[in-house]
Amino acid sequence: MVELAVGQSSLVASFRLGGGAVSSRKKYPVALSAEDRQALVRVTTTGVRSASMIRRARVLLALDTSVGEVDPRVVIAERVGVSCESVRLISKRYAETGDDVWATVGRKERACPPVPSPVTGEVEARLIALACSTPPKGHARWSLRLLERHVALIEDIPNLDHSTIGRVLKKRNCVLT
């Protein structure tokens, strides 16, 4: 290792710990109210909930500092059946949501909505009409790839892959003969 001046030793020490300029680790304490604790116990013991919601509720209950001393993250992770990183992320999410238990154990809202399907009702109708029409000269019947090529030529219909066309036709019980 390279000899360092006195002023540089703290920088190297923080670099070894895996952090930037801050060498101390952040903690996200979880202090549940009595009502929140009861609600989480109900989530874990009664009703029909998703497994991930029950798991996050169990982690929050294990991290609760209002009932006494909390076990280390490794012990909590092993007891609940998650990784240490999951325990850290759940406690971080609890702190970021302003100590909101339901926002922590529930599903996250999507940052951006999913991409809408290019296949609308009108596109389906046009595809089925094309598949039911007579095939072009030189072909005995429509194939998915032949439909794909013809759909690419039609300006009103977006370009669709042959597998997408097959799914649309299968959904409407349209058989290519």
pLDDT at 72 over 50: yes
Do residues 127 and 99 share a domain?
no
pLDDT at 64 over 60: yes
Do residues 134 and 98 share a domain?
no
C-alpha radius of gyration, the chain, whole number: 29
Which amino acid is it at 108? Answer: K
- Looking at residue 4, what is its pLDDT? 45
Do residues 59 and 92 share a domain?
yes
Do residues 85 and 147 share a domain?
no
In a domain, 20, yes or no: no
DSSP 158: P
- 105-116 per-position pLDDT tens digit: 988 877 887 888
- Looking at residue 2, what is its pLDDT? 45
In angstroms, the first-to-last Cα distance of the chain is 75
- Looking at residue 94, what is its pLDDT? 92
Q: Which of 165, 126, 172, 131 is nearest to 148 (CA)?
A: 165
Q: What is the mean pLDDT of residues 19-24?
A: 34
Query: Tokens at residue 153, please?
Result: 């030529």
In a domain, 29, yes or no: no
* Ramachandran assignment for 154, one of left (phi > 0), alpha (psi -120 to 50 degrees), beta (any other): beta
In a domain, 136, yes or no: yes
- Looking at residue 131, what is its pLDDT? 93
Q: What is the mean pLDDT of residues 76-102?
A: 92
- Looking at residue 29, what is its pLDDT? 86
In a domain, 62, yes or no: yes
Do residues 45 and 86 share a domain?
yes
- Looking at residue 156, what is its pLDDT? 86
Query: Tokens at residue 102, please?
Result: 């339901």
Q: What is the pTM (predicted TM-score) of this model?
A: 0.53
DSSP string, 110-135: PSSPPPPPS--HHHHHHHHHHHHSPP
Do residues 136 and 96 share a domain?
no
Containing domain of residue 81, as a range?
A: 34-105
In a domain, 165, yes or no: yes
Q: For the chain, what percent of residues have pLDDT higher than 70?
A: 85
In a domain, 18, yes or no: no
For residues 81 and 75, give the distance between their C-alpha atoms in angstroms, rounded to a whole number: 10
Do residues 48 and 97 share a domain?
yes
Do residues 126 and 99 share a domain?
no
In a domain, 164, yes or no: yes
Greater confidence, 176 or 1?
A: 176
> What's the mean per-residue pLDDT of the chain?
84
Domain count, the chain: 2
